[in-house]
Amino acid sequence: MSNAAPRSAPALPFEPPDPQFRLVVGLYVALLVVPLVLFGAVTVGFSDAAALYGVFLIAGLLLVAVVTWALGRLDGAAVRLGNSRLRWFLSLPALGLIVGSFTTLSRIGGIAMVGFFLGLFAALAGLLLAVMARSRYVKTLLDAVDVDGEWTAGWPAAAKRRVEWLAAVSMLAGVVTFAGGLAVGGQFWFPGQFLVAIGAAITGYGQSQDYAVTPAGITVERGGFRRFYEWSHFDGYTRTDDALVCHRPRRVDVRFALDDLDDPDAVEGILSRYLGRSEVASV
């Protein structure tokens, strides 16, 4: 339960997206559109490999250049996207491209395979854009509000070990599934890739991250990427023997190992301004 009165995010200054963000958007759009251009070229009679390669290069470079230029004229595009849940749907068009390419593989062969792999890269680019947009929103928000406190902390050792074991099991199962599927020619090699990716993602939990508390919520930074949790995302905090734990319903809790904090009492004092203390310990 939150102790703080509901606070909306302050009005944020809107500036044109930075060149790096604009370039990634350009690549994302090109990855989605170039396969469609190739499909169209084949439909109208292009069959020569050199000609199709030329279409691929010209269309790709032109799309990247145009989108990068145009996005520079849209003030606040990255910040608005970072503050919208729509950012997590950026990979959906890529999934449609992947499915469409797979279903047309028998008819147009190599072009469909190109579309399939470009769709995979577009899906990854969509996820990257979602993270980049959110990071830029959080940075802009931090610049516009007062910061109550900052610290760096990871999870306590026992919780971190549980996460590491879970990640290791997931990655091992993924490698075995992938290698076994390739060895016997079965289709179950495909899920193995996702198990490895899930295991790699899990390893991020428990590692040291930089935190900043503001009246609007908690920001988290690691590896140059930032996340933001509003106070309404939490239903209280707990102090255990080894950690301060901010509880998130149906989500992974935010934990600060006491051994990582210079002054745990001061950190708890800051959290108590916005969250109520719960006596129910987190596992």
Predicted confidence at residue 9, as pLDDT, reads: 55
> Do 140 and 153 lie in a common domain?
no
> Do 208 and 139 lie in a common domain?
no
Question: Residue 234 is encoded by which pair of tokens?
Answer: 């939490």
> Do 27 and 125 lie in a common domain?
yes
Contact 14, 74 (CB under 8 A): no
> Do 121 and 175 lie in a common domain?
no
Q: Does 154 reside within a domain?
A: yes
Q: Does 11 reside within a domain?
A: no
Q: Does 262 reside within a domain?
A: yes
DSSP state of 86: G
> 206 is in which domain, residue-wise?
149-272
- Going by their DSSP bridges, the two strands 225-230 and 237-239 should be labelled as unpaired
Confidence (pTM): 0.69
> Do 80 and 180 lie in a common domain?
no
Cα 14 to Cα 57, 137, 187, 191, 278: the distances in Å are: 34, 10, 48, 42, 39
Domain count, the chain: 2
pLDDT tens digit string along 104-140?
776 767 788 888 899 999 999 999 999 999 888 888 8
Has residue 184 got a pLDDT over 60?
Answer: yes
> Do 26 and 58 lie in a common domain?
yes
pLDDT tens digit string along 223-244?
778 888 889 889 999 999 999 9
Q: Does 108 reside within a domain?
A: yes
Q: Does 283 reside within a domain?
A: no
CATH of the domain at 207: 2.30.29
pLDDT tens digit string along 6-54?
455 556 667 889 999 999 999 999 999 999 998 888 887 777 888 888 8
Q: Does 107 reside within a domain?
A: yes
What percentage of the chain carries pLDDT values higher than 70? 88
Q: Which amino acid makes up residue 199?
A: G
> Do 129 and 166 lie in a common domain?
no
Q: Where are the alpha helices (DSSP H) in the chain?
A: 19-43, 49-71, 77-82, 92-103, 105-108, 110-144, 157-184, 189-202, 264-272
